[in-house]
Structure 1
């Protein structure tokens, strides 16, 4: 049985406001692409929201983290049951690259590369603001990618919020102030 501890190397700051994290995921590049672009599949690990995969197209991401896994743990007090964010498609190269805006200031890039019977997914989040945002987003990408890896592998996942808190503390130690 795969456990959460077997997933997820930490991400890294590659510039002061740019976080990058990589995962090797099971399955074809088309399957992983679908989990990035199809709202019904994406909501199983990150956030729902229908995407028109056309450069310039707006879309909304809707997080409902309390519904991702069976054991969510205790949600942090400063998080609501739902979070919404307006975004815009910036670049689409199916099934290898997707770039979209993060609020009005940031940018997220998903790069996919076939690797044997799996796929290397690299997530690069640019223009993060403030230390608190950096730590929350880094822990968030890490935890959400762990959920994606578990979903694709058909493996169980532990407590989401407990994992997120532990990751946030770990990233606070890893990233200098």
Structure 2
């Protein structure tokens, strides 16, 4: 699995972190669009889409790979092969903006705007980081799987810089 660059977070007010990732993946935007917007694609790297209405204001319910509770919400942006955004209870606004680079690679400009007290920002960054690693792997290796060991390793790497600033 090739490395995914560390994500960042910024505060948008009390208990409102905005998380960002910009993975540059060696796949066409068509391949990535399918992975981001179909039940079969999402299942391989993010979670089981129990409900997925693929249009603006469609219903969506995702059950994460780590076995956590399902999150339900709406499709709040839909620009075919360019932008998809899900707004989900407990996860907030999750936006994927695809930008092709040539014909065989794509940058995903990712945002996750969360709300609520007690957000474990290093843990959420670690979760998204591992999900992006799985996305890259899922396009070539169907055996790629979520592991708690990898999540713990990533969480530690995200917590370390935050601790030094305190």
- Give me the TM-score of the superposition, normalised by structure 1: 0.78
Contact 2:10 / 2:19 at 8 angstroms: preserved in 1? yes
Partner of 1:150: 137
- Describe the SS at the equivalent of 2:52: coil
Q: Measured at CA, do residues 56 and 158 of structure 1 come closer, stay the same or move farther in structure 2, by a change above 3 Å?
A: closer
Aligned pairs, how many?
Answer: 158
1:59, distance to aligned residue in structure 2 (A): 1.4
CA 88–158 in structure 1, closer or farther in 2 if over 3 Å, else same: closer
Structure 1 pair 127–8 and aligned structure 2 pair: CA distance change class (3 A): same
Unaligned runs of at least 5 residues, structure 1: 66-80
Residues 82-117 of structure 1: CA deviation (Å, up to 9, x unaligned): 531112111101111111113167211101000121
**Is 1:13 the counterpart of 2:9 in the alignment?**
yes
Query: How far apart are 1:153 and its partner, in Å?
Result: 4.0
Give CA-to-partner distance per residue, 1:89-146, whole Å, 9 cap, x none. 1110111111111316721110100012111112110134445432222111000100
SS in 2 for 1:7: coil
**1:145-175 CA distance string (max 9 Å, x none):** 0011112244975872111101111111223
Match of 2:148 among 161, 164, 168: 161
Task: Give the corresponding residue for 1:126.
Answer: 113
Unpaired runs of 5+ residues, structure 2, are: none
1:44-123 alignment, distance < 5 Å: 44-49=44-49, 50-65=51-66, 81-103=67-89, 106-116=92-102, 117-123=104-110
Q: How does 1:22-41 map to 2 (within 5 A)?
A: 22-41=22-41
Residue 174 of structure 1 corresponds to: 161
Displacement of 1:53:
2.2
CA distance change for structure 1 residues 157 and 41 in 2, over 3 Å: closer, same or farther?
closer
* Aligned-residue CA RMSD (Å): 2.3
